[in-house]
Amino acid sequence: MLGTHQRTPSGPGTPGPVLTVRPLDGRTGVRAAGEVGLATRAVWENVLDRAVREGDAVYCLELSAVTFVDVAGAGALAAAAGRLGDGRRFVVHRPPQALRRVLELFWPDLPTIEVSMS
């Protein structure tokens, strides 16, 4: 079961970036909050790997509480989407604007990622 995941602290007594991931109620997917970057990349990649393995046709990523996704995090999402089987897709709900821009620039025709602003 998914729970709260955090990164390693960036210094003594100094909290660093955090990525919290929880299962969605009533549909397959997760709600993420925080930042996707170097310090939290392992958590993000584990979530995506699990989504690919689960095998449901639609896997929802609720990202309205995610404040930052670096280019490597966007690349991990695109790579995971590329591993989805036929007829499967990620539906990315309310991603940060920077993630939308990176997806549009580098992966504009990736049919396995659907961005929803609702």
Q: What is the pLDDT along the chain (118 residues), one digit of tens a residue?
A: 445 444 444 455 557 899 999 999 999 999 999 999 999 999 999 999 999 998 789 999 999 999 999 999 999 999 999 999 889 999 999 999 999 999 999 999 899 999 999 8
Extents of the domains making up the chain: 17-116
Instruction: List C-alpha distances in Å: 88 to 9, 33, 62.
Output: 36, 24, 17
Nearest by Cα to 59 from 89, 24, 25, 20 = 89
Q: What angle do CA 112, 113, 118 make, to 5 degrees?
A: 140
CATH class of 17-116: alpha beta
CA distance 30 to 24: 5
pTM beyond cutoff 0.85: yes
| Look-up of token digits 């609720």 | 62
